[in-house]
Structure 1
């Protein structure tokens, strides 16, 4: 398979993987029902962003890196691909090892509930959104590796998007012989 054909699918895939991780971080990761005798019960939801704010920030970095691949040079693409893979592995690790942070966020949310009277901490149920976030980060890590490997062979933006450079100053010819010399050098003697 031609590595140049991977350009659009890898960039779009990295963008989607980062968006998937970001979306999963905004969903409910834990739900607790706080019930006390004599008070109305309360349902407390804890999102991934509440438990681990760094997860959504890393997902945004992955989406920005996917867009950076479009405008970067071949050498920089390799760095962006490696950086994307590194950030994605860090995000997946934070989510997988963050059960203590989730439990702390649940404790804070339960204590803020109007139905909480100071009794023991109720048990909470987790949702599959944590695994969806991990899936997004794993996909981003794989696609970052593909970018680091094949990014140098992908097409780049044309030079018309570069900053304009200074035009060389043209000295007007003084005599007929200067005009012929200008033509020999490939310059337009009429300018």
Structure 2
């Protein structure tokens, strides 16, 4: 009876680690250049025009800002999953999954739109009628990371009810314990224990 429960719990570390790595990679790749190109004798590496062309269409953050924003949402979602519990934790994983699907869609859309935008910018700047473009390795990283985000968040939605949670004992102490021994004495004893720990004394001595 214990084996089926133990197996899903053991997925907590790998799934969360995969999700964090994938979301971080997607966020980093989203801020890099996804497409480079050249037109005639004009190249995107030429001195004064390099920043202009990069800003117009080659940079993922400027031309596909939604992808970067969604990657950050997924990354933040994993942080929330680590410190919450219960139904709210499950809701966060669902939100992260929705953001991951949007991340894949935004990254895939860039495959069709960015080369054309860069080519148009090159033609306008160079005054020629031919242009060539190509994707950088960062675009491949962004696409793979987006797919891994979907896989990890989908696994989280399914497995999160079986994952270990941060116990209530980690919450800040406060309030009186209703044990019938006197409403005024119990919180005083708790406070004395915490004061003793703060002062480096053993409250059990």
TM-score with structure 1 setting the length? 0.74
How many residues matched?
Answer: 170
Q: Distance in 1 between matches of 2:140 and 2:115?
A: 16
Q: Which runs of 5+ in 2 are unaligned?
A: 186-205
**Judging changes above 3 Å, is the alpha-carbon distance between structure 1 residues 70 and 148 closer, same or farther for their aligned structure 2 residues?**
same
Residue 123 of structure 2 contacts residue 131 of structure 2 at CA under 8 Å; is this kept in 1?
Answer: no
- What is the alpha-carbon distance in structure 2 between the residues aligned to residue 80 and residue 56 of structure 1? 19
- 1:8-157, aligned counterparts within 5 Å? 8-36=13-41, 42-43=44-45, 44=50, 45=54, 46-103=58-115, 105-107=117-119, 110=122, 116-120=125-129, 122-157=131-166
Structure of larger gyration radius? 1
Deviating beyond 4 angstroms after TM superposition, the runs of 4 or more aligned structure 1 residues are none
User: In 1, are the aligned partners of 2:100 and 2:150 still within 8 Å (CA)?
Assistant: yes
Normalization by structure 2: what TM-score?
A: 0.69
Q: How far 1:89 moved relative to its partner?
A: 1.0
Q: In angstroms, what is the RMSD of aligned CA positions?
A: 2.9
1:141-177 deviation line (CA, Å, top 9, x unaligned) = 11111111111221211223324433269xxxxxxxx
Secondary structure, counterpart of 2:34 in structure 1: strand
CA distance in 2, matches of 1:108, 1:57: 26
Partner of 2:167: 158
Corresponding residue SS for 2:150: helix
